[in-house]
Chains A and B, each alone.
Chain A
Amino acid sequence: MQDAYLEKTIRGLTRAISESLFSERMAREPGLLQKLDPRVRLAGVLVLVLAVVMCRKLEIIASLFVVAAGIACLSRVSLGVLIKRVWLVILIFTGIIALPAVFITPGKSLIAVGSTQLSISVAGLRTAAMLILRVETAATLTATLVFCTPWNQILKALRFLRMPPEIITILTMTHRYIFLLLETAQQMFESRKSRTVGRMPESERRKVVSRTAGVLMSKSIELSNEVYLAMLSRGFRGEVRLLTDFRLAARDYAALSAFVGTAVAAIWSGR
């Protein structure tokens, strides 16, 4: 058990790599979102998430949840993946947070728990349901976007939202170097684990983690210097220029109007 922290970290790093590979694979499936222009995908999901957050009625949020699940299924995201990766995780996390609200929100009492003062109120149930459903719906939408869109396409779409080109370039490069550093960190932890025999005191274990982080930081700064020199040698002068090659088809316009229409209808009826 004593080196569980190493295993946990290694597992976490591996999961991050495999999750991003999963979305690269999913993005090639012939689903609904995959067929649309990335800008439409991003804008569509953004307006729907905004509608979910702005809605003030439980029933409307519930119907938006059905819409979100529908979009996910039509985009070939399997129900198993949705349940395991999104719905259950949120149900547990937000559920724990929302549970006390069921009892402490003042309102008409529905059921009294035993002979104690505790009782479940109608308002409490609505509050908890609203929070959980809202978070589930928004997460289903963003997860579907993330699963079905490779990172470079999300970045191209962000350019359309008038993000400064420096930021887009930084996001692109960060994404590229995350994988290199993930691998480096993973190898450092694995080699540490392979050389650890016997029981290490807790303070020593903490030192291992912070020293690994320190080494990784030195490596990152060195790497950034090398990248900078490589960029300079290729003619980089501090200005960033990006290529844009998007064309909207008829189905993109149709999908965009459907997304915006649904969002506006939800916001209007959920006032």
Chain B
Amino acid sequence: MHIPDGYLSPSTCATLYAFAAAGWYSALRRIKHVFAARTVPLISVFAAFSFIVMMFNVPLPGGTTGHALGVTVGVIVLGPAGAILAVSIALAIQALLFGDGGITTLGANCFNIAIVGSLVAYGVYQLVAKGSDVSSRRRVIAAAIAGYTSINVCALVTAIEFGIQPAFFHDAAGTPLYAPYPLRVAVPAMMIGHLTFAGLAEAAVSAGMVSYLQSADIGLLRGMVPAKVGAVSGPDARRAPGRLWWAVGLLMLCTPLGILAAGSAWGEWSSRDLSARMQDQRSNSGDQARHLTVPTGMQRLASIWTAPFPGYAPRFIRSPMLGYFLSAMFAVGLLVLVSLIGVAVERRS
């Protein structure tokens, strides 16, 4: 899963570096808040541990062996922020010291394995283990499911990154410049190995380690992160909602930017758009495209639901820019309302 240099285009690498940088920044802030001066030695030694666990061969059915990533156990013991940093450091050392994984793709590898992997593992583990006792069997099963799911989601994200390369990055003759396979080849090719061997290895190591820690060092499973961390505390957290409102307001102001884009988004055509595109195709390529018509199923389903604000503008508003603003305000208001109702229901229960 460590992508070497040359498989991804520079713009994909840059985008994923930006995503990874955002993840590192927030993880570092959070972890410094929790562990203060202990951050440096804790993350360093844990990163060294992650590096070594990635080299362990796990025996699998059929006499083969596979490698695990050990992200899930990192998440259980250190929390997602700690795991993101420790696994990223381990990946950086693999790239810079052992040439395993590329330099331009380091952002992509950290995003896929450390960030996506940790967050998925955290979510699944919380979901399955919620409310159970630290020494219960459910924790072991939760670790196995979290490990299996997280490594497969990592593989899927990696496959999507590979699969979009030929569509966006090819030369004038259509020859792919980077990873050559489209999504329909890249996704199954990547997933077969992970749904079977790699997924099993990760599930086995995560479950085995949790079960071992339950009997030998249960303190680690209670989590080194204090329970209330990340909840509202400290001056920063109190300011955060204010900042969030500013950001939402700014994004709403930016909504008319959508008008600048010509045509409709690829693959999001209405049956009328599609029919117009096919008309063009027919007139360009003559007889060859005679058979192109809008699928009947699409025409039939198109009339089932008519949006109240088609094209992000209520019918009675002439100016498209004002229509965009109003649509954005309406949508944000609706979402805030739904979340307020959700919070009220949760408090009552």
Q: Is the CB of B175 within 8 A of A123?
A: yes
Q: Which of A19, A128, A220 contacts B45 (CB 8 A)?
A: A220
Does residue A181 face the partner (Cβ distance < 8 Å to B)?
Answer: yes
Find chain A residues with CB under 8 A from B104 CB. Answer: 49-50, 53, 138
Q: How far is the CA of A231 from the CA of B176 in the complex (A)?
A: 52
Q: Is the CB of A205 within 8 A of B53?
A: no
A29 to chain B: closest CB distance in Å?
A: 18
A142 in contact with B103 given A94-B4, A221-B77 (CB within 8 Å) = yes
- Per-residue contact bits, chain B 70-108, to A (CB 8 Å; 1 contact, 0 not): 100100010000000100011011011111001110000
Q: Is the CB of A123 within 8 A of B93?
A: no
Q: Is the CB of A174 within 8 A of B47?
A: yes
Stretch at the interface among A7-15, A32-40, A243-251, A253-261: A7-15
Q: How far is the CA of A13 from the CA of B57 in the complex (A)?
A: 11
Find chain A residues with CB under 8 A from B85 CB. Answer: 170
Does residue A264 face the partner (Cβ distance < 8 Å to B)?
Answer: no
Does residue A105 face the partner (Cβ distance < 8 Å to B)?
Answer: yes
Q: Is the CB of B40 within 8 A of A240?
A: yes
A185 in contact with B6 given A170-B89, A217-B73 (CB within 8 Å) = no
Q: How far is the CA of A123 from the CA of B73 in the complex (A)?
A: 45
Q: Is the CB of A126 within 8 A of B175?
A: yes
Number of interface residues of A (CB under 8 A): 88
Q: Is the interface of A mostly helix, strand, loop or mixed?
A: helix
Q: Is the interface of B mostly helix, strand, loop or mixed?
A: helix
Does residue B19 face the partner (Cβ distance < 8 Å to A)?
Answer: no
- Per-residue contact bits, chain A 63-94, to B (CB 8 Å; 1 contact, 0 not): 00000000000000000000000100010001
A230 to chain B: closest CB distance in Å?
A: 9
Does residue A156 face the partner (Cβ distance < 8 Å to B)?
Answer: no
> Taking CB as reference atom, which chain A residue is nearest B43?
A170
Does residue B58 face the partner (Cβ distance < 8 Å to A)?
Answer: yes
Pick the 3 closest A-B CB pairs, nearest first.
A210-B208, A138-B5, A214-B212
In addition to A130-B175, A213-B209, 6 A-B residue pairs with Cβ atoms within 8 Å of each other are: A53-B13, A53-B104, A100-B185, A174-B47, A216-B49, A217-B49
Chain B positions near chain A (C-beta within 8 angstroms): 4-7, 9-10, 13, 28, 32, 36-49, 51-53, 55-59, 61, 63, 65, 70, 73, 77, 85, 89-90, 92-93, 95-99, 102-104, 171, 173-181, 185, 204-205, 207-209, 211-213, 216-217, 220, 224
